[in-house]
């Protein structure tokens, strides 16, 4: 068994940071190649090793390869996407309609990561004040899977433009189970050099130095040296 107290080597650290910085929300680069079961098992195992409040492990993983089920989910997306488009006007709406925001049918595999909000025996340690900690825990499972997938050369796209109640009905989820993340998964033709929404001019990444505060909102952290390291001085 690997000793957890062994320091990470420089190549191991570099690999982790590379996966973080090169992770992309994939919509339109999916290949039809199937994801081997042993690779999918590694991704699910990575997700299952996410931290969770009270160690409640509220997640379940619905592996969806049925074209019929995916078509029904795609129908939900089309309806909700049209609603989303109508919330914008003018050039912004045109740009929205030009974006591809899912790969439900193009990806060889869909995966729904759900959150069982009733899991645990009675009150859950650490969730007695912030009841949504189970949802936050499940988000960490999503991120674990996403980073592991990037390391495996597999793309992941999170489809957030869905009616969750309709999705739960399509997937036959019991009452306390919430469909937190609907993911498209598969090998891709390429990983883009920057997020697709940045490349297409929807939004740019904010400067990190402008988002770091110290001890209170709007205050520079420490003596300001951290801000200097973070690509410039903090504008406080």
Instruction: Give the pair of three-digit tokens for residue 222.
Output: 């420490």
Instruction: Give the pair of three-digit tokens for residue 66.
Output: 């049925």
The answer, yes or no, to whether residue 236 has pLDDT greater than 70, is no
Q: What confidence tier does 31 reach under pLDDT thresholds 50, 70, 90?
A: very high
Going by C-beta distance under 8 Å and a sequence separation of 6 or more, which residues neighbour residue 35?
A: 108, 109, 154, 185, 186, 187
CA distances for 213 relative to 60, 205, 207, 225, 230, angstroms: 36, 18, 13, 12, 12
Among 9, 16, 7, residue whose Cα is nearest residue 144: 16
pLDDT digits (tens, 9 = 90+) for 166-189: 999 999 999 999 999 999 999 999
**CA atoms in the 13 A half-sphere facing the CB of 146:** 22
Average pLDDT, integer, range 141-168: 98
pLDDT, greater one: 116 or 3? 116
pLDDT digits (tens, 9 = 90+) for 54-78: 999 999 999 999 999 999 999 999 9
Q: Are 137 and 58 in contact (CB under 8 A)?
A: yes
Long-range contacts of 176-180 (CB under 8 A, 24+ apart): 176/116, 176/117, 176/118, 177/60, 177/114, 177/115, 177/116, 177/117, 178/114, 178/115, 178/117, 178/135, 179/112, 179/114, 180/59, 180/113, 180/114, 180/115, 180/135, 180/138, 180/139, 180/142
pLDDT digits (tens, 9 = 90+) for 40-59: 999 999 999 999 999 999 99
Q: What confidence tier does 217 reach under pLDDT thresholds 50, 70, 90?
A: very high
Model pTM score: 0.94
pLDDT of residue 54: 97
Question: Span 18-204: which CATH code?
Answer: 3.40.109.10
Question: Quick one: CA dihedral 162, 134, 205, 148, positive or negative?
Answer: negative
pLDDT of residue 160: 97
Place of tokens 């949802």: 135
Q: Where are the domains of the chain?
A: 18-204, 206-236
pLDDT, greater one: 197 or 2? 197
- Pairing verdict, β 59-64 and 177-187: unpaired
Percent of the chain with pLDDT over 70: 96
pLDDT of residue 233: 56
Q: What is the mean pLDDT of the chain?
A: 94
The answer, yes or no, to whether residue 235 has pLDDT greater than 60, is no
Q: What confidence tier does 19 reach under pLDDT thresholds 50, 70, 90?
A: very high
């Amino acid at each position: 068994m690997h000793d957890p107290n062994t320091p990470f080597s420089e190549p191991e650290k570099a690999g982790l940071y590379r996966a973080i910085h090169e992770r992309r929300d994939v919509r339109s680069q999916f290949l039809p190649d199937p994801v081997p079961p042993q690779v999918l098992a590694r991704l699910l195992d990575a997700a299952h090793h996410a931290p969770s409040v009270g160690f409640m492990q509220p997640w379940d993983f619905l592996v969806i390869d049925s074209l019929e089920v995916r078509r029904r989910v795609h129908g939900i997306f089309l309806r909700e996407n049209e609603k989303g488009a109508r919330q914008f006007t003018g050039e912004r709406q045109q740009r929205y309609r030009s974006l591809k925001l899912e790969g439900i049918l193009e990806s060889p595999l869909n995966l729904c990561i759900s959150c069982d909000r009733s899991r645990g025996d009675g009150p859950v340690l650490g969730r007695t004040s912030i009841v949504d900690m189970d949802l936050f825990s499940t988000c960490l499972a999503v991120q674990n899977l996403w980073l592991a997938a990037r390391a495996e050369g597999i793309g992941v796209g999170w489809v957030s433009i869905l009616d969750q109640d309709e999705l739960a009905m399509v997937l036959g989820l019991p009452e306390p189970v919430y469909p937190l993340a609907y993911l498209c998964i598969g090998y891709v033709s390429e990983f883009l050099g920057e997020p697709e929404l940045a490349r297409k001019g929807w939004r740019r990444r904010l400067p990190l130095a402008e988002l770091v505060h110290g001890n209170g909102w709007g205050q520079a952290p420490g003596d300001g040296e951290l801000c200097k390291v973070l690509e410039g001085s903090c504008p406080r």
